[in-house]
Amino acid sequence: MSNCTLLNEFILLGIPHTERLETLFLVIFSLIYFFTLLGNLLILTAIISSSTLHTPMYFFLGLLSIFDILFPSVTCPKMLFYLSGQSRAISYAGCAAQLFFYHFLGCTEGCLYSVMAYDRFVAICHPLRYMLIMKPGVCVGLVLVAGFVGALHATMLTTFTFQVTYCGPNQVGHFFCDIPAILPLACTDSSMAQRVGSTNVGFLALLLWVSISVFYTLIGVAILRIRSAEGRRKAFSTCSAHLTAILCAYVPVVIIYMQRTPNPLLGAVVQILNNIVSPMLNSLIYSLRNKEVKRSLKKVFYNIAAFCFRMNNGFHNIFQTCVVS
């Protein structure tokens, strides 16, 4: 160990077995990232601009849109940077920061899914007391707890991952810094960090999944007790989009961290679905399945079109004035 030189940077090799496809992936991932940002920004704008959407349900949905903007932004810009032919190097501190924010945002979003399941449980099972239970202070408190859990989770994983020594090689067989890709490069024993990583991620994912399952089991029982078909349809429609988003978020996590013998290509494909594709799908799921969001989005588009029309008329009048003078 006395002759080892500690690493100050890592080299991201990208998606395994995809050599000479950089230009294709650059175009595909750039479009997906663009539509992810655009879709979630539109949903966030629709929620903020419409007073009818200033309720706990849409407060959480707005936060989910913010996380769906931030989460892919941890890994996607760097990937697009080196797919465009630039350097694949990432500093030691940058790698640690990427790992921390990936798990912080991912865990906090997972907790937010549980909070949203609790919100739907209160709305359907206790509708008369909904606004009394889900007061603004309670909503903010639940979000703060979710953020605290995410920060604690990410701090533990980052600390254990980077307390081991890295002195070579420095080539990360992945498109971003994550625990399964970083720990095999350690020069010292990393078994403790591996156990902490798999146990922590697995236990937290299981705990959140159980809480969501309990809430939705109670919701399902309550929906079955509704006598009118229209009432059951309306209650189910408010939950179907959330359930779809949960499946898109949790299935990749289970596949990635519960593999006994990790497959680099499978892991990369699943991570792409989790990091880049799922945040884009969330905006589509919630906008297409929610009438209130669609109605508010139409108003946003109308206001944008009206503003552009007024700007165009203004420029046209200025141009005519300049020509006449």
- Residues 159-185 have pLDDT tens digits of 999 988 888 788 888 889 988 888 888
Q: Round to whole Å and give the CA distance between 11 and 255.
A: 25
User: Which DSSP state fits 90?
Assistant: E
Mean pLDDT computed over 97-103: 94
Average pLDDT over residues 78-97: 91
Tally of domains in the chain? 1
Question: H/E/C letters for each residue in 133-184?
Answer: HCCHHHHHHHHHHHHHHHHHHHHHHHHHHHCCCCCCCCEECCCCCCHHHHHH
Higher per-residue pLDDT: 174 or 308: 174
Give the number of residues written for the chain: 325
Q: Which domain holds residue 210?
A: 9-289
Nearest Cα residue to 77 out of 181, 175, 205: 175
The candidate with the shortest Cα–Cα distance to 275, out of 65, 69, 43, is 69
pLDDT band at residue 18 using 50, 70 and 90 as cut-offs: confident
Find out whether 200 and 257 touch, Cβ atoms under 8 Å: no
Has residue 84 been placed in a domain? yes
CA distance 307 to 318: 16
- Tell whether the model's pLDDT for residue 315 goes beyond 80: no
Residue 314 lies in a domain: no
Q: Is residue 96 part of a domain?
A: yes
> With 90 as the cut, is the pLDDT of residue 265 above it?
no
Is-contact 111 28, C-beta < 8 A? no
Quick check: bond before 252 cis, omega within 30? Answer: no
Give the pLDDT score at 314: 61
320 domain-assigned: no
Residue (of 212, 203, 92, 91) closest to 152 by Cα position? 203
Whether residue 204 is contained in a domain is answered as yes
Q: Say if 296 falls within a structural domain.
A: no
Q: Residue 137: give its domain's CATH number.
A: 1.20.1070.10
Dump pLDDT digits (tens) for 126-141: 888 998 999 999 999 9
> Average model confidence (pLDDT) for the chain?
82
Give the C-alpha separation, 201 to 258, whole Å.
9
Asked if residue 319 is part of any domain, the answer here is no
Phi-psi region of 87 (alpha: psi -120 to 50; beta: other; left: phi over 0): beta
pTM, rounded to two decimals: 0.85
Residue 254 lies in a domain: yes
